[in-house]
Structure 1
Amino acid sequence: MIMERQSRLGETHVLVLPFPIQGHINPMIQFSKRLASKSLRVTLITTSKSMQPSASSVNFESIEFEEGERTNSVDDYLELYEKLIPKRLAKFIENQTCSQHPAKVLVYDSCMPWALAVAKNFGVQGASFFTQSWAVNAIFYHLKQGTFRVPPEEPVVSLPSMPELRLSDLPSFVCDNSGSYPGLCKLVKNQFSNFEEANWVFCNTYDELEDEEMRIEP
């Protein structure tokens, strides 16, 4: 059955790179399945061999951390990930160029903007995928633009195209007075560093639900 499916696949090979934290992986898996349903070759790249496919429509490949490279600190993990994974992703794409079906497109989690440069270095088109609701993304976008500070100076935050937000409406680490999560704050801001340079930008939302919030222009 797998061989029959493979024979029906088209020539376009899409790589999908999810960010390995809760809430980011499943949207990318579901998107990968949708792509595969359109007769595209889809390879989802993971950093853990424990994440195996529940269906054969998507191929899973691992570029996991090696023994001794893991860390328990969130900020240390993010730093280590950004140091090691770009090189391994580049090696993976390079190996694909010699295959029968080299990668044409890399769909990457928006939290990894560096993936776009890796893809373009091999002539692969890049698509940034925002896994969170666009209302949340809009908050992070305005955080990067300096529309408000962290932690906010006022009890109510007013952002373009959004209703007034109380501190309890904002992501918890945005309101953190102790500065306990500098890595996460940097992560969510950097996802907008080059998204306008991507060939495509995908959002995990419906424009009918978040029409106003999606009116963000770089």
Structure 2
Amino acid sequence: MEEPREPHVLVLPFPAQGHIKPMLCLAKLLAAAGLRVTFLNTHHNHRRILPRGPSSPPSSLLRLESISDGLPDDHPRSLERIEELLLSIKTAMKAALREFLVSKSAEPPVTCVIADGIMSIGIDVAEELSVPAISFRTFSACCLWTYFCIPTFIHEGKLPFPDDDLDKEFHGLLGAEGLLRRRDLPSICRSAIAINLYRYFMDETIAMTRACALILNTFDALEAPMLSHLATIFTDIYTIGPLHALAVKSHVGHFSGRSESVGSLQMEDRSCMVWLNSQASRSVVYVSFGSLVKITVDQLMEFWHGLVNCGRPFLWVLREDAILGENEEKARSLLSELKVVSEGRRVVDWAPQEEVLAHAAVGGFLTHSGWNSTLEGIVAGIPMICWPRIADQQINSRWVSEVWKIGLDMKDTCDRSTVETMVRLLMDDKKEEIMKSMARISALSSDSVGPEGSSSKNLERLVKNIRKIGQTS
């Protein structure tokens, strides 16, 4: 009788920081549970991530490896040129993945592939090699359910929108009646999105159903209604979030104050923590629009004046590549001017976000509503002003404001008057009301990652089932 194979999990993230971070957290948790894990980055991101904190895995069971994404080294891999990256993933990177899995690089042989929900090449190659695949979608359950409903909306004539009125109510999403406007749907529903991008993401969503299970970085108490709808599509769902909090509770976290955050592709400026130490309790507005979003000079100045006019100290993460469509030299000059340190404001290229949100001086979070940032705000108990731009961010922000009631939704506008008003509402006028909701939601997130919490139990169940897969493959 053939001996059972040793469980060996390949974790394949989409090559962007917001995807790498939660999937690397999961890889560390699986390794800490005794599974052999290979985390497979692209060469481009592997070089960026290795010199810093995550270079020392939690155990010898976790290997950090890489393959080519098929693009030249000097390619920017930016949102503006994402179609080139997506095409290369489907062709060159898929071939490199197949070669990696059939070569000696993947020893012992991989028994399970955990592929990002927009990396169906992982499912494709796993099927070719008769290896079970699990899909991990790194955004919210509410957004994933919406994605699955989009073909129905198209069939019913609700998409594309017949006119440009984005404030019109949108009906038909089960579990969200009376909640949505057109502008609250994911960005792929807007007419400005390129049709080939729309098709790519819809094809990737459908491909997820070929996986044997679904992993989500959320927790049961936060998104129970949407999870119940997803259960009609996936027979096996593992909700194991917030992953960054679960990693800390499981003692494989990274909150040492001396290393880079797990999955960070940016060099963190820790001087902002010293600046926060000098600020009053709950007085600071923390501003970050994530690792990909770019803004125009006009938007930048509207935010700047709105924040200055509200009279609150603020810490703003403003990447060197954050200004859209401007002369590089002019952009650098403007950023240099804004980054001059003053008593009530601090601007940095990148910050240790989880530590910032946990700092006693921070009282509000102006965010792009990326799912990692949303969960980090919830765990830290910091109310949010949402300015979503792409993908899942539009629907996340609606849930923040109207379902969980832990923040305010400012989508599609950023004039200085609105920014000032929103900050005053969050930090003063509606503070008590919003903080009451946030305290409840934050406590539920903490419970979920506790020893008897739903996410902890689901992680145990996932590890057990991966071991079974290894025994039967």
TM class, shorter-length: 0.7 to 0.9
Q: Distance in 2 between matches of 1:202 and 1:74?
A: 25
Any unmatched runs of 5+ in structure 1?
A: 1-9
CA contact (8 A) 1:96 1:103 kept: no
Paired position in structure 2 for 1:167: 182
1:191 aligns with 2:191: no
1:130 to 103, 122, 137: 137
Q: Distance in 2 between matches of 1:187 and 1:22?
A: 20
Q: Distance in 2 between matches of 1:67 and 1:97?
A: 21
Paired position in structure 1 for 2:214: 201
2:21 to 18, 21, 26: 26
Residue correspondence of structure 1 range 33-112 to structure 2 within 5 A: 33-47=28-42, 48=44, 49-50=46-47, 51-52=49-50, 53-57=54-58, 58-65=62-69, 68=72, 70=75, 73-96=81-104, 99=107, 101-112=108-119
Q: Distance in 2 between matches of 1:36 and 1:98?
A: 16
- CA shift, 1:67, in A, is 6.2
Larger fraction in helix: 2
TM-score by length of 1: 0.83
- CA shift, 1:96, in A, is 4.3
- CA shift, 1:98, in A, is 7.3
- CA shift, 1:66, in A, is 5.2
CA contact (8 A) 1:78 1:183 kept: no
Q: Distance in 1 between matches of 2:198 and 2:91?
A: 18
CA displacement 1:2-60 (0-9 Å, x = unmatched) = xxxxxxxx931100000012421111011111111111111110112322234323311
Q: 1:59 to 1:74 in 2, by over 3 A?
A: same
Q: 1:98 to 1:184 in 2, by over 3 A?
A: closer
1:144 aligns with 2:157: no
- CA shift, 1:115, in A, is 1.9
Q: 1:82 to 1:67 in 2, by over 3 A?
A: closer
Identity of aligned residues (%): 27
1:123 aligned partner, one-letter code: S
CA contact (8 A) 2:11 2:37 kept: yes
Q: Which SS does the other structure have where 2:225 is aligned?
A: coil
Q: Distance in 2 between matches of 1:77 and 1:44?
A: 20
Aligned length: 206
Q: Distance in 2 between matches of 1:55 and 1:81?
A: 28
Greater mean deviation of Cα atoms: 39-48 or 153-162: 153-162
- CA shift, 1:165, in A, is 0.9
Q: 1:152 to 1:46 in 2, by over 3 A?
A: farther
Q: Distance in 2 between matches of 1:98 and 1:213?
A: 37
Q: 1:136 to 1:28 in 2, by over 3 A?
A: same
Higher alpha-carbon Rg: 2
Any unmatched runs of 5+ in structure 2?
A: 234-473
Q: Distance in 1 between matches of 2:90 and 2:106?
A: 26
Residue correspondence of structure 1 range 1-12 to structure 2 within 5 A: 11-12=6-7
Kindly report the root-mean-square deviation, in angstroms, between the aligned alpha carbons of the 2 structures: 2.5
CA contact (8 A) 2:41 2:64 kept: yes
